Structure 1
Amino acid sequence: MTELEDLVVRLREFAAVREWDQFHTPKNLAMALAGEVGELLAELQWLTPEEAERVMHDPEAAARVRSELADVTIYLTRLADVLGVDLIAAAHVKLDEGERRYDAATYRGSIRKAPPIT
């Protein structure tokens, strides 16, 4: 079993023991995920780019960022499980699409978007 699969199982058990499955609807989990992403953003919001790059060198800030990243991971993983989505497989599919849309020779060092897929 992979570490992600271990986490999925642990989250299922965590919710089941507390009888929280009834609350773990896709809508509720997506909303909770959005809230946690907001909390992560709040940790970086008013930092300069240079300060943001150094945030992990401040023990207190690093602990807060790690905690918010953990919350995001937990809710994303739980949402994917409830929806029956294999996160790793979905990420590989998305990366494959990105490799087709953004060939390295054309987009290296560029921030521009690829044209829409028709």
Structure 2
Amino acid sequence: MTTSDLLERVLAFREARDWKQFHTLRNLIVSTSIEAGELLETIQWKTDSEVDALLLDPKRKKHLEHECADVFIYLMLVAHTAGFDLVEAAMEKVALNEERYPVEKSKGTATKYSDL
């Protein structure tokens, strides 16, 4: 399945339920943030080793997958509503990050590009 196929399915799901009326750009962006908060809840108060262990539990891993999917679906709807291709925007951002974080300056450091 391609991202275009997924978007078509998400839009059909939305259309069948008459939810487009609620999907203003503002509401979609707010919902994306809310879903990202739910993703954060999956690791809240856990150590890195506890988070790693989460991946070994099929039920907890599936919950993580679903929370990531919720964020992804809302991001797709944001991009669709705003009139841009999310994959193209991500590719452009990766290219920009490659410029901002040249390997010779950024390898092995978490320093922000403006401070490199």
Question: Which of the five TM-score ranges fits, normalised by the shorter chain?
Answer: over 0.9
Calculate percent identity across the aligned residue pairs. 37
Structure 1 residue 53, shift from structure 2 partner? 2.0
Q: Which residue does 1:52 correspond to in 2?
A: 51
Letter of the 2:37 partner, please give it: G
Alignment of 1:9-88 (within 5 A): 9-88=8-87
Q: Give runs of ≥4 in structure 1 deviating > 2 Å.
A: none
What is the SS of the residue equivalent to 2:113?
coil
Q: Secondary structure at the match of 1:44?
A: coil
Q: How large is the Cα RMSD of the aligned pairs? A: 1.3
Q: Distance in 2 between matches of 1:61 and 1:17?
A: 30
Where do 5+ consecutive residues of structure 2 fail to align? none
Please report the TM-score for the alignment, with normalisation by the length of structure 1: 0.91
Q: Distance in 2 between matches of 1:68 and 1:115?
A: 32
In structure 2, distance between residues paired with 1:39 and 1:65: 9
Q: Relative contact order (alpha carbons < 8 A, sep ≥ 6): 1 or 2 greater? A: 1
Mapped partners of 1:26, 1:81: distance in 2: 9
Q: Which amino acid counterpart does residue 23 of structure 2 have in structure 1?
A: H
Structure 2 equivalent of residue 100 of structure 1 = 99
- Normalised by the length of structure 2, the TM-score is 0.92
Structure 1 unaligned regions, length at least 5: none
State the aligned residue count. 115
Q: Distance in 2 between matches of 1:50 and 1:105?
A: 31
Q: Between 51-60 and 85-94, report the one with greater CA deviation.
A: 51-60
State the Cα distance separating 1:54 from its structure 2 match.
2.4
Post-superposition offset of 1:41: 0.2
